[in-house]
Amino acid sequence: MRKLRMEVAGMTCDSCNLHVARALERAGAREVAADWRKGEAVFVAGEEVGLDRLAEAVRDSGYGPGRVERLETGAWRADRAGASEYDLLVIGAGSAAFAAAIRARDQGARVALVEHGTVGGTCVNVGCVPSKALLRAGEVYFQAGHQDFAGVQTSAGKVDLAALVAQKDELVGAMRQQKYLDLVDAYGFELIPGHAEFAGPDTVSVDGRTITAGAYLVATGASPAVPPIEGLPDAGYLTSTTALDLRELPASMAVIGANAIGLELGQLFVHLGTKVLFFDVLERIAPFEEPEVSEALTAILRGQGAEVYAPARIVKVRAAAGKRVVHAEVEGALREFPVEQVLVATGRTPNTSGMGVGLETAGVELDRRGAIVVDEHLRTTNPRIFAAGDCTTAPQFVYVSAYEGNLAAENALNGASRTVDLRALPRVTFTSPQIASAGLTEARARSEARDVKTSVLPLSAVPRAIVNRETRGLIKMVADASTDELLGVSILGEAAGEVIQAGVLAIKFRLTVKEVAETFHPYLTIAEGLKLAAQTFSKDVAMLSCCAA
């Protein structure tokens, strides 16, 4: 017997649950549990019951059958391991790798991780942890010199960047030890130092040592991408890694690339007193967010003294008189921008080139960017090799890497049954104010031929923002015009990264806009803005009293 999960579209109530369950039972399913809020049905069916037959039954009952996923019902057993040295060999030692190792050890598997660099990967060493530590410091410093409350005097002195970076390094070292190195012995997996490369479809070589495993997981992460700009290597530049180690504050800086990384680090230096110029080749900064968010953030950055150029094409960079001169085409004219430092923040490239020949030998397909191609179970074109995290085509967030590492380990050990589901994935850009989004943007929803409706609520309509004297920003909601289901939420505002989780849950469990509006939201919180944004679909919230339903 198989335990299966089927996505089902069109269910809107408890009665729909009953109709779908009866349809599946008539087709041969047993123990059916349909859930219209989740948009799925979970059931048991024998091997003789075809998936086409089950889908047809659901379709005949008036609903839309979707993807079917097999759920694992039994734990991994040691007798599946065979004669290999390890049951799972993981290449890499970052968030995806450790999540996989922990999951595999929970099932009693023999696990080893291979790492040629620093344990912990991008997030704890050169990404999330150090950057957010510095971003918070920048926010505090900027707020000390820019606050709007009468009768309160604050001031900001000189920045000691070297001391700030030293404190950041101390934090990174402590978290690397506590959240990674200490776990090796705690869970009992092996950490092998060295450079791994596939010597064949089922063998790995680590600095001359041949290792075999029942299954393999590639979790090598990604590194800053540097575009081929004329003169850039000779002029010198910073990346998201090296910018975090500056000991002296530059007087001016050009940021090439104004998506999440460029915006975060660029604004950090704005807050610390550097004159910053943002450039992006696309039509607007934060190009993958809602256009209303991009427009509002552009105004905020300019109000803080930054210059923003989008679209702008960087032609070349040259060194001259102790500075770096950025030559950029802006509004059809070629202009020169002399700055002290250039920060390149044009994305990240998968760490696969160092083992590219080995991957080819193992029969693992790469895309044109060098990312490992995986299926919905995170299996590569070699059925014994899985991949997870930033070295694949997945969204490059640490929580996605950890989620995929966990999922890949289960599939590698138990047989591919779990599938990746990123439908309600949140994303946060830690600018000030923050950008946080989940689900579909309006443009993405329309590209999928959905009939949608939207609401845009300025933070000036949210009482907490008014009280805080911080009304810069907005909340935008995207909903299905026919079913009222909430499809996407975007927030630009203080604490947006905290508030978005309510939007994630609403999208995951397929709440309607009406249900969001009817849910309690505590007064004088930014989260109340979600209720107001939902009410905006049908009401003028400016004409409501406080907390009016």
Q: Angle 473-478-484 (CA atoms, 0-180°, nearest 5)?
A: 135
CA 99 – CA 402 distance, rounded (Å): 5
Q: How many CB atoms lie within 10 A of CB 467?
A: 10
Give me the architecture of the 2-71 domain, per CATH: 2-Layer Sandwich (3.30)
Domains 84-224+350-414 and 232-346 belong to one CATH topology = yes
Residue 546 annotated to the active site? yes
Q: For 24-78, what is each residue's pLDDT tens digit?
A: 999 999 989 898 888 899 999 998 999 999 999 999 999 999 999 887 554 444 4
| Prior bond of 311 cis (ω within 30°) | yes
Tell me if 470 sits within 8 A of 533, measured CB to CB.
Answer: no
Q: Could you say which of 6, 16, 355, 391 is catalytic?
A: 16
DSSP per-residue codes, 3-37 = EEEEEEES--SHHHHHHHHHHHHHTT-EEEEEETT
Q: Which CATH number fits domain 232-346: 3.90.1150.10, 1.10.260.40, 3.30.300.130, 3.50.50.60?
A: 3.50.50.60
Residue 63 annotated to the active site? yes
DSSP per-residue codes, 56-123 = HHHHHTT-EEEEEEEEP-S---GGGSTT-SEEEEEE--SHHHHHHHHHHHHTT--EEEEESS-TTHHH
Residue 135: the pLDDT is 98
CATH code linked to domain 84-224+350-414 = 3.50.50.60
How far is C-alpha 448 from the chain's CA centre? 21
Length of the chain: 549
Q: Could you say which of 309, 523, 543, 547 is catalytic?
A: 547
Domain boundaries, the chain: 2-71, 84-224+350-414, 232-346, 426-543
CA 232 – CA 129 distance, rounded (Å): 28
Show Cβ contacts of residue 230 under 8 Å, excluding neighbours closer than 6 positions.
315, 316, 317
Q: For 84-109, what is each residue's pLDDT tens digit?
A: 899 999 999 999 999 999 999 998 99
Adjacency order of strands within the sheet including 333-339: 312-320, 323-330, 333-339
Residue 391 annotated to the active site? no
CA 531 – CA 525 distance, rounded (Å): 11
Cβ-based burial of 93 (10 A; exposed 0-12, middle 13-18, buried ≥19) = buried
- The one-digit pLDDT tens for each residue of the chain (549 residues) are 788 999 999 998 888 999 999 999 999 999 898 988 888 999 999 989 999 999 999 999 999 999 998 875 544 444 444 578 999 999 999 999 999 999 999 989 999 999 999 999 999 999 999 999 999 999 999 999 999 999 999 999 999 999 999 999 999 999 999 999 999 999 999 999 999 999 999 999 999 999 999 999 999 999 999 999 999 999 999 999 999 999 999 999 999 999 999 999 999 999 999 999 999 999 999 999 999 999 999 999 999 999 999 999 999 999 998 899 999 999 999 999 999 999 999 999 999 987 766 899 999 999 999 999 999 999 999 999 999 999 999 999 999 999 999 999 999 998 877 899 999 999 999 999 999 999 999 999 999 999 999 999 999 999 999 999 999 999 999 999 999 999 999 999 999 999 999 999 999 999 999 999 999 999 999 999 999 999 999 999 998 898 877
Look up tokens 């000030």; give the residue. Answer: 432
- Superfamily (CATH H level) for 426-543: FAD/NAD-linked reductase, C-terminal dimerisation domain (3.30.390.30)
Q: Could you say which of 6, 123, 253, 477 is catalytic?
A: 123
Q: Could you say which of 11, 355, 391, 477 is catalytic?
A: 11
DSSP per-residue codes, 161-205 = HHHHHHHHHHHHHHHHIIIIIHHHHHHT-EEEES-EEEEETTEEE
Please state the φ and ψ torsions of residue 451, each to the nearest 5 degrees. Answer: -90, 110
Residue 196: the pLDDT is 95
Look up tokens 């109530």; give the residue. Answer: 13
DSSP letter at 390 equals G
pTM recorded for the entire structure: 0.87
CA 386 – CA 216 distance, rounded (Å): 6
CA 380 – CA 371 distance, rounded (Å): 11
Q: Could you say which of 1, 6, 86, 128 is catalytic?
A: 128
Q: Report the DSSP pairing between strands 86-91 and 213-218.
A: parallel
Beta bridge partners of 325: 318, 338
Tell me how far apart the terminal alpha carbons of the chain are, to the nearest angstrom. Answer: 49
CA 47 – CA 42 distance, rounded (Å): 16
Tell me if 352 sits within 8 A of 371, measured CB to CB.
Answer: yes
Tell me if 489 sits within 8 A of 508, measured CB to CB.
Answer: no
How far is C-alpha 61 from the chain's CA centre? 37
Q: Could you tell me the two tokens for 470?
A: 């911080």
